[in-house]
Structures are given as C-alpha cells and as structure tokens.
Amino acid sequence: MTQQGVRWSADQVLALAPDAASRKAGSKLGTAGPWSETGSSNEGAVWGLCKGSGSTPYRTVADIGDAAGPAYSCTCPSRKIPCKHALGLLLLWSAGPDAVPEGTAPEWAERWLAGRRKRAAGRRAKAAGGSASADPEAARRRAERRAERITAGATELEQRLADLLRGGLAQAEQAGYGLWEEMAARMVDAQAPGLAARVRELGSVCSSGPGWPVRLLEECALLHLLDQGWLRREQLPEKLAATVHSRVGLPGSADGPAIRDHWLVLSQHDTVTSRLTTRRVWLYGTDTGRTALVLSYGAAGREPEQSLPVGLLMDAEVSAYPGAGQARVALGERFGPPAPTLCRPPGVTTAEAAARYGEALHEDPWLESVPVTLRAVVPVPDGDSWQLADADTDAALPLTPAARSRPGLWRLVALSGGRPVTVFGECGHRGFTPLTAWPQHEAPAVALC
Amino acid sequence: MVMTSAPVGASGSGIWEELVTTALLGTDRRALPDGVGGGPAPAALLDTAAVETVRRRAGLLPAPVAQRPRPASEDPRPALPAAAARRLAMLLADRSGTDRGGRRGPVHDLKGLLPQWLALANAHGYAPPPETLPALLDAARAHTDLRPAALAFAGPRARWLARLNPEWRFVLREAPAGGAGLPGPDDTDRIRQLWEEGLFGERVALLAALRDRRPAAARELLASGWTSERAEDRLLFLDVLRTRLGPDDEPFLEQALGDRSRNVRATAAQLLSALPGSALAARMAERAAACVAVDHTGGTPTLVVEAPHECDAGMQRDGVVPQAPSGRGERAWWLGQLLEAAPLSTWPGRLGGRTPQEIVALPVADDWQEELHAAWCRAAVRQKDARWARALLGAPESGGPGALSLAERSRLVETLDTDERAEWVAGFIAAHGLDEAFQLLEVCAVPWAAPLGRAVVDALEIARDAGSYPWSFSGVMGLADRCLDPAEADRLEKLVAVREVAQDAASARVEEHWAGEFQRLVTTLRVRSAMAEELRGG
C-alpha cells in the first residue's frame, strides 16, 4: 500500500518542526528561490543547497526513509532538529518533482547517507545478536531488591488508605495537597512511579469540583486494587500480572513478537508537565485491524524526537509491551519512507464505543480509555459542553472536560457544520476525547490536537 | 458521572451510594452497608468499591442526544486548491503566533500577507476549508480591519459557527459581505421593514447597499424618516450619499442645509459643493470670484486677493463656519472656505481664460499665495479634479510650485488616475529619494506599476550606496513587502549579496543589515508570487 517515492503533504512536513518558530522559518524557505542542486531518491533521501546570508550555501540533506525515523543533516549552525533549511527543503520536495527532481545524491550527501545506513545496519545486527545483559544474575538480584521495596511501599500505601477510610474522605479534603504529595514522595522512594502518579492524582481529585467524593472513592478503590494486585501478583494469571507490573511503574520491554503491517498514523498529541513532555501516537494497522500506541518522551520543555505526522501510512514492524489489554508498542524497523494516504479506519457507533471500553476493562480494570473511531457522528452542543451524537440513533457520547476547552473542538465543529463526520479519539469513563476527524467525503484527516 | 450509568439494578446503584456516604464519613463513624464482605472495615469497603467502580465503568452507556443544531447551509463556492489551503493555514498560524518579532518583526512579517491572500481568494471566489474557520474568525475578531474580507471569504458556515460560540458574535453583527442576506433592491417591503425596525448597523448596511444599486431609492428611503433620526445618525446616513452622488440629490441636500445640527449642515454643504452644477456651488462660485482677480497694472499680470469682510447668514447657511480656529485671521478663514467650495471650473473664465497651469503659475500679491493654493488643493481633492491636481502638483521633479505639505501632495496624487499616479510618484522618488515618499506610496495602486517599483528599488539601492541606515527605510520596506510586484524579485536578488566595500566594523554591519533586509524582501516577494500561483492553480 505504501508507494515508494510518494511525496508527503506540506502539513505532514510541517508536523516535523520542533516548534512554531521553525515552522514559520521553514515555510519561508519552502520556495524555489534560495535553493539549487536539489534532488531526491526513491529511498526517501532529499538534498539541496540553500543560499543563506553567507557566501557559501548550506548543504542540507534529509532522510525520511530511515528505519529509525526521519534524520537530517545541515551545515548551518542551528541546533534545532530539523533546522529550518531541512524543513524548507522537505516543503519544496512536497511541492513535486518540478521543484525537487528525482536523481542521484551528490557525493557530499551520499557520504552522510551511507554513514547512517552503516550505523543502522550495525544496530540491527546488534539487536539480532540478543540484548542479554552482561550479568543476568546481578540483574535478577537488582530486580528482586526493587520488588521488595515496592512491596514495602504498597503495604504502607494500603495502611494509609485504610486510615483514610477509617477517618473519612471528608478529612482528606481538609488535609489538602500536602498529604498526597508526601505520600507520593514515599512511593517514589519505594521505586513505584506508577503508584506515586496515582497518589498525586488523588490530590487533584479532591479539588475537582462537585462530585469529588465519588471520584475520590473510585480512585482510592482502584489504587487499593492495584496494591492488592501487586501484593498477590504470584496468584494472578501471567498477563494480568504483567499489567500490574506496568501499572505499578516497572519498566517493561517491548519483547512481543514483531508485527509487520501498514500502519496509519491516526493521531499525535503531547501532554506537557513541568518535568516531562509525553507524546502519544496512535497507529492503526490497516491489514491486522489492530490499534497501537507509541509513546515517546522529551525532557522538560523539549519536544520528543519521534514525530509521526497524522495521515501517513508506513510499512513497519512494531512489537508490543507486555500486559493484558495493553495497546503500547515500540516502533521497530520501517520498510521504506512513510507516505500520505486517504484511507481511514472503519468506525463504530457510540454504543459500540462505550461497549468497547467496558470490554477492555475485563483485561485491565485501571484503563482510563480506549481508542475508538466513531463512524458518523455530529457534534451537538449540550449546555456548556458538547456531545458527539450518532448520525442515525438518539445516542451520544459526551466530550471529556479536557476536550471541551481545546481549540480542536471548534475545528471539529467547523468541519462538521452540523453534518456527520468520522472521528477518532479516546473513549473512557469521563467521556470522549476527539483527536482526529474526517469529513464524510474522501479527504485528508484533520488533526484536532 | 459524565455518561449516564447503566441501570445495573437498584441494589447495584444503591450500594454505591451507601459506600460513598460511609467513605465520606469514615468507617469509624458509620457502619458498612449490608452485604459488604468481612475483614477489616476499610479494606472491605475498598474491595467492594473497586468492584463497583469497574462495574459502573464497564456498564456505561451513551447519553440521550441533546438538541441537534440545524446543519449549516452549503457553501456553493469551489474548494480551495490544496496548496492554497495549506498557505492559508500557515498564514493563520502565523497570526495567532506570538509577536516577538522585535526590530525586524512587524514590518516584514508574513502577517501583512493575509489581507492580500484574502483579497485574492475572494476574487477567485473560493470557499474556505471549514476546519480553518476558527482560526480565521479569531484573526478577524482581533483585527477589525480584516473583518470584511475575512467574513466574505468565511461564508455561510462562519455565521452558523458564530451562533454557537459567543466569542464570534461580532460575525452576526457585521453586515453580511456583499449585501448577502440584505433584501434585494426590488424587495421594497422588506427594505421598508428593515429600515424601520433594524439596528443602526443593519440600517447603514442596507442604505449603503441600496445606494450602490439604486441611488435615488436610497435617498428617498433616507428622506422618508429624516427628521425623526438622531443627529449622529443623520450625519452617518448623510455620509452614505457620497457614493454615486448626483444632481438629483441636490434638493434633498439643500433642505439638509437647514438642519438643526451644525455637523449635518456642514456635511450637506460639502456634498453640494462637490456637485458643480448645484445652486450652492453657483453661490459659492459667485462669492469666491469676487475675492480673486488678475491685476494688469504692473508689468506682469498678478493675482490679487480681497478676502470677504463678513460671514453673512447666507454664507453660514451654505456651510461656511464663521468662527476661525485660534491663531487664524477670520477673513482668511472665510476665504479658504469659499475657495474650497467654489467649483474650480469658475476660475479659467474669471481669470482671463487661463488654464489651471497658467493660473497656478501667476504670482500672487501680498503673501496670499500660500492661502490661495492650499484652498485650491482642497478644492481639487474634494471635487476630484485631476487637471487642477496636476497643475498644483507641478512636475514631480520640481516638487510643485506651492509649498505643498506631505498630506496635501498625497491627496492630490490620489485624484490622478492609476497610471498617472504611479508615474508621478516614480518621478518624485527618482528626484527626491524615499524620505518623503511613504504617504505617496500608500495611495498608489497595488501591486505597484513597473516604473514605480523600479524607482523604489533604485532609490533603496542609492540609499544603501550613500551609506544610509536601513532602518530609516523600514516604513517603505514594509510597504514594498506588500505592494512591490513580485516580478521585481529578480532585480532585487542582485542587491542581496554583501559587498566587500566596508572600511570599518560599523559600516560592515550596516552593509550586512541591508543585505538582510533585501533578502527578506526577496523572500516575501517569492512567497507572494507563490501565493498567487497557488490560488490560480485550482
């Protein structure tokens, strides 16, 4: 399905930009003016010379066909990746073969490309050779020690929850944030970041407005369930135990079998905290019908490096992380550059979407939401919120509180104009979060985040 | 819960309520609900609550649908070509982006391109990609000058959206672009109704639209309830009559000369004086002619000026303001008003059959020249008289016989037709450089005609060679960004290279700056030509 050498759309190129300033600077360089000796290869390499203010032009080369994701090289002094020249060059390339013809890479570009391919081959060989660590015995001992600390942490947390319930949740509201922060810090010490994050979450539930006691009890109960799951993990089925492991915060490794498919990039969105930017990319396997999640991280204030523009289709392998009901995968080798496509996932009704979430809870009771495509829904205003209503039934899914305040909501409403659209998003107990939409006629995806 | 919960059975939801109450008060104070398992009370509560939580979540059903909005009416215009849609998204992202441009920022920013882009897209008659409407409306909300073009482009779906989002209310207040939604000129009943019941903005829009197509009908509509309108409204309505002003409007305007409001009277007088055949114009011509004559007694014919001695009731009724601003002699003040309102066609006959050129060239006795020429300038502007404007402007190289102010000069230039205007300004720039050119350039048609564009680029090059600072020309550079014909990019390209002529660090920096400015200008021009190309390629 992926055609080699198909050019990306400019939107997809621009999605690679590390920030708005680069997007703007790159788009100014996306015209033929400053460029000379441009060319591209079928394998996804694009090169050219860009005239700047200096006397020698910059040599810019981009490789979007690389197995590890797009890579760039430019002789300009910018430290941004990709720099504006690389973006401008790819924009020019996206405009078609008039601007950037197909050809053979000049010597300077070929040197860089060859160097990259050699390193990539080296990496693959090393990966195939097995990643067994130097001392399996030491690793086992380390893991055991960590498990003991988590057990101690979970036990303490159970005690705290029991105290809390004995005194009543009303007290917790008065105790304020400090109570939870302190408890979370204890869980960090216990090397259980998953527990720590949930405890911190409890703190914000208290101040989340009307209905907080219900939400707090829910979250406390699920935390209790996770503690109990950890403490009795030996008695759990293997897959559920793996889910508990990852929920508690133990790093798993994506050692599932490689699944090769033509993966459609459904959405890409970032959640930013003071410490970390988390990028969630949802993929849809057009052959297997499987939906998978790729997570990548960037340190405070920096964008995660992995960028997958919405609407691209790529022939690639992924491998799943362990655990029942887990969608997370690691992106493995890519076979050829990603190319734009108009295909979209098949959709369901709102009732089916709600049922999917319910079924998924069988395997992972801590699940907040599941990825779902709604086939034909209309955004409907509902008081100060919005719903997505089936085009031909009387059922509707409310939007999550977070989705209501995003600018993407208005893009969705405008796209619909009161008529049905296809919407991909996350459906959970708090409602639906739209991430990408398609009009009913054949047209490219519209990213909503 | 956001979604409605599944009716899992009365006992199910009942037990959940009980659990929440007990949890809130504490197990020390309240007993566990019946049927909750053994063990220590808090753990038993949490066990049951966990089961209930997952059960409630798993059983969620969609909610019943609220009132569906009526679908937006279809936009019949063709969709934008893909490349143009992308450009639009980029321009809009740019606008909403932060304004941290600093010194170089605002002038060369792509921002200036959005109005041009919208004008081009509207000329082609394209419909916008719906998902860009929120950004477009946000831009129009923040920048009122963008609104007419943005809303014309946004089309029917923007009005549909505006009903759903209070932030975009302004869309509903603005008159629908191009008169869409207003009653047609033949729909007299609806016109009458809107005129009598509409909000002020709607009424102005209605009047303006009607005036454009049926000038007489608009005037009659206005006259129908004239005396009952408020003074401020009368003034603004009267202003609408400037469009397609004609001799038929005279009786109505004559009557408005007797208006209660002084501003209304003044406006009516101004409109009448722009009608050379009007009775007011004739009265003014008579008064003005009495003040200026050719004196042949000396060796050379000379203009002598005798300013009026009083401002009588007739003059006042014809819009002459008796009270002079402080610092001006009142006789000169009255004279200025008479000359300004008198038809310029009066003068060749009165002054010995001379052409405007010859009249302007005559010497003027007793220091009246400045007053006299300035009043004729105003008259030429008001009466849109290109012959007189040409005479008063003089040759572009000379800069005009009288001491024209920058504002007077640009307003006179505006009365010339497009080609002549560009040519005159090009000549002026060639002779005088860019220092005083900004206002003149502003009134030239966009894109600048070839000779004008060349003159500007040449003048910039001369300024650089003379070692001027580039930032002294930021205003002109900003205009060039928007108005220079993209075809000039090739010529500009030659100026981009930094020349190795600088003797010291400071002038090297200036040189580098010029190169940077030219580079930016070239880039913008290329973007503009790409923009036009994208919109053509549908």
Read off the pLDDT of each residue in B183-197 and give the average, rounded to a whole number: 78
Q: What's the pLDDT band for B131 if we cut at 50, 70, 90?
A: very high
Give the CATH number for residue A269.
Answer: 2.40.50
Q: Is the pLDDT of residue A442 over 60?
A: yes
Q: Is the pLDDT of residue B175 over 60?
A: no
Q: How far apart are the C-alpha atoms of A99 and A404, rounded to whole Å?
A: 42
Tokens representing B315? 């003059």
**Closest alpha carbon within chain B to A378:** B68
Contacts of A244 (CB under 8 A, 6+ apart): A226, A229, A230, A233, A236
- Measure B21 CA to nearest chain A CA, in Å: 9
Q: A249 near A195, Cβ under 8 Å?
A: yes
Q: In the prediction, which pLDDT does A377 show?
A: 96
Q: What's the pLDDT band for B403 if we cut at 50, 70, 90?
A: low
Q: How far apart are the C-alpha atoms of A354 and B142, rounded to whole Å?
A: 40
Q: Is the pLDDT of residue B102 over 70?
A: no
Tokens representing A74? 């430019």
Q: In the prediction, which pLDDT does B198 show?
A: 77
Please indicate, yes or no, if residue B145 is contained in any of the structural domains. yes
Please indicate, yes or no, if residue B45 is contained in any of the structural domains. yes
Strand order, beta sheet including A71-74: A35-40, A45-50, A58-63, A71-74
Q: Are both B431 and B485 inside the same structural domain?
A: yes
Read off the pLDDT of each residue in B411-417 and give the average, rounded to a whole number: 86
Q: In the prediction, which pLDDT does A381 show?
A: 94
Please indicate, yes or no, if residue A271 is contained in any of the structural domains. yes
A380 → closest Cβ in B66, B97, B526? B66
B420, B466, B520 from B472: Cα distances, Å? 28, 13, 16
Q: Which of B180-194, B303-317, B443-457, B521-535 has the lowest mean pLDDT?
A: B180-194
Q: In the prediction, which pLDDT does A359 show?
A: 94
Choose the final residue of a domain: B179, B206, B222: B179
Q: In the prediction, which pLDDT does A436 show?
A: 96
> Would you call A303 helix, strand, or coil by DSSP?
coil
Reduce the secondary structure of B480-516 to three states and give it as a string: HHHHCCHHHHHHHHHHHCCCCCCCCHHHHHHHHHHHH
Q: Which percentage of chain A shows pLDDT scores above 90?
A: 45
- Measure A323 CA to nearest chain B CA, in Å: 18
Binary contact (B27, A165; C-beta < 8 A): yes
Q: Are both A327 and A371 inside the same structural domain?
A: no
Residue appearing with tokens 């053509």: B536
Q: In the prediction, which pLDDT does A132 show?
A: 54
Q: Are both B200 and B244 inside the same structural domain?
A: yes
For the segment B283-321, what is each residue's pLDDT rounded down to a tens digit?
A: 888 888 888 888 888 778 888 888 888 888 888 888 888
Q: Are both A213 and A287 inside the same structural domain?
A: no
Question: B166 and chain A: CB distance < 8 Å anywhere?
Answer: no
Please indicate, yes or no, if residue B27 is contained in any of the structural domains. yes
Q: Which of A32-46, B54-68, B169-183 has the lowest mean pLDDT?
A: B169-183
Read off the pLDDT of each residue in B10-35 and give the average, rounded to a whole number: 82
Q: Is the pLDDT of residue A262 over 70?
A: yes
Question: B42 and chain A: CB distance < 8 Å anywhere?
Answer: yes
Q: B332 near B307, Cβ under 8 Å?
A: yes
Domain that holds residue A279: 258-340
B64 → closest Cβ in A225, A394, A446? A394
Q: In the prediction, which pLDDT does B94 show?
A: 64
Q: What's the pLDDT band for B177 if we cut at 50, 70, 90?
A: very low
Q: Which of A19, A31, A98, A165 to mutate to test the interface with B (most CBs of B within 10 A)?
A: A165
**Closest alpha carbon within chain A to B91:** A24
Q: What's the pLDDT band for B8 if we cut at 50, 70, 90?
A: very low
Q: Are both A79 and A175 inside the same structural domain?
A: no
Question: B47 and chain A: CB distance < 8 Å anywhere?
Answer: yes
The whole-model pTM stands at 0.75
Question: B83 and chain A: CB distance < 8 Å anywhere?
Answer: yes
Q: In the prediction, which pLDDT does A134 show?
A: 65
CA nearest to B382, candidates B326, B330, B329, B319: B319
Q: Are both A15 and A47 inside the same structural domain?
A: yes
Binary contact (B62, A396; C-beta < 8 A): yes
Q: What's the pLDDT band for A404 if we cut at 50, 70, 90?
A: confident
Binary contact (B67, A171; C-beta < 8 A): no
CA nearest to B31, candidates B41, B39, B40: B41
Find residue B79's DSSP bridge partners: B127
Q: Is the pLDDT of residue A389 over 70?
A: yes
Q: What's the pLDDT band for B98 if we cut at 50, 70, 90?
A: very low
Q: A255 — phi, psi (to 5°)?
A: -110, 15
Q: Are both A168 and A228 inside the same structural domain?
A: yes
Q: Which of A86-90, A113-117, A251-255, B497-501 has the lowest mean pLDDT?
A: B497-501
Number of domains in chain A: 4
Q: In the prediction, which pLDDT does B502 show?
A: 57
Q: Burial level of A292, CB count in 10 A (0-12/13-18/19+)?
A: buried
Question: B64 and chain A: CB distance < 8 Å anywhere?
Answer: yes
Q: A277 near A271, Cβ under 8 Å?
A: yes
Q: Which of A14-23, A406-415, B35-44, B173-182 has the highest mean pLDDT?
A: A406-415
H or E stretch covering A278: strand A276-285
Choose the final residue of a domain: A213, A248, A283: A248
Q: Which of A320-329, A379-388, B186-195, B412-421 has the lowest mean pLDDT?
A: B186-195
Domain that holds residue B322: 280-380
Find residue A67's DSSP bridge partners: none
- CB neighbourhood size of B307 (10 A): 18
Q: How far apart are the C-alpha atoms of B329 and B326, rounded to whole Å?
A: 8
| Mean pLDDT rounded to a whole number for chain A | 87
Q: In the prediction, which pLDDT does B384 show?
A: 84
Please indicate, yes or no, if residue A131 is contained in any of the structural domains. no
Please indicate, yes or no, if residue A211 is contained in any of the structural domains. yes
Q: Are both B171 and B213 inside the same structural domain?
A: no
Q: Which percentage of chain B shows pLDDT scores above 90?
A: 12
Q: B311 — phi, psi (to 5°)?
A: -115, 90
Q: In the prediction, which pLDDT does A130 show?
A: 53
Q: How far is CA A438 from the centre of its chain?
A: 20
Q: A105 near A47, Cβ under 8 Å?
A: yes
Q: Are both B534 and B423 inside the same structural domain?
A: yes
Question: What is the distance between the terminal CA atoms of chain B, rounded to a whole angstrom?
Answer: 49
- CB neighbourhood size of B35 (10 A): 9
Q: What's the pLDDT band for B105 if we cut at 50, 70, 90?
A: very low
Read off the pLDDT of each residue in B139-151 and give the average, rounded to a whole number: 86
Q: Are both A365 and A334 inside the same structural domain?
A: no
Choose the final residue of a domain: A302, A317, A340: A340
Q: Which percentage of chain B shows pLDDT scores above 70?
A: 90
Q: How far apart are the C-alpha atoms of B86 and A10, rounded to whole Å?
A: 7
Q: In the prediction, which pLDDT does B178 show?
A: 47
Q: What's the pLDDT band for B99 if we cut at 50, 70, 90?
A: very low
Q: Is the pLDDT of residue B400 over 80?
A: no
Find residue A46's DSSP bridge partners: A40, A62
Of residues A40 and A52, which shows the higher confidence score? A40
Q: Is the pLDDT of residue A156 over 90?
A: yes
Helix orientation angle between A20-28 and A84-94, rounded to the nearest 10 degrees: 60
Q: How far apart are the C-alpha atoms of A61 and A151, rounded to whole Å?
A: 51
Q: Which of A7, A14, A27 to mutate to test the interface with B (most CBs of B within 10 A)?
A: A27
Of residues A66 and B321, which shows the higher confidence score? B321
Please indicate, yes or no, if residue A133 is contained in any of the structural domains. no
Q: Are both B425 and B521 inside the same structural domain?
A: yes
Q: Are both A262 and A235 inside the same structural domain?
A: no
Residue appearing with tokens 């994506």: A254
Beta strands A291-299; A328-334: pairing state: parallel
Number of domains in chain B: 5
Q: In the prediction, which pLDDT does B22 show?
A: 92
Find residue A295's DSSP bridge partners: A280
Q: In the prediction, which pLDDT does B402 show?
A: 52
Read off the pLDDT of each residue in A377-398 and give the average, rounded to a whole number: 93
For the segment B365-382, what is each residue's pLDDT rounded down to a tens digit?
A: 888 888 888 889 888 888
Q: Is the pLDDT of residue A383 over 50?
A: yes
Q: B30 — phi, psi (to 5°)?
A: -135, 140
| Mean pLDDT rounded to a whole number for chain B | 82
Q: What's the pLDDT band for A5 if we cut at 50, 70, 90?
A: low
Choose the final residue of a domain: A298, A319, A340: A340
Q: How far apart are the C-alpha atoms of A218 and B497, rounded to whole Å?
A: 68
Residue contacts between A and B (CB atoms, under 8 Å): 214
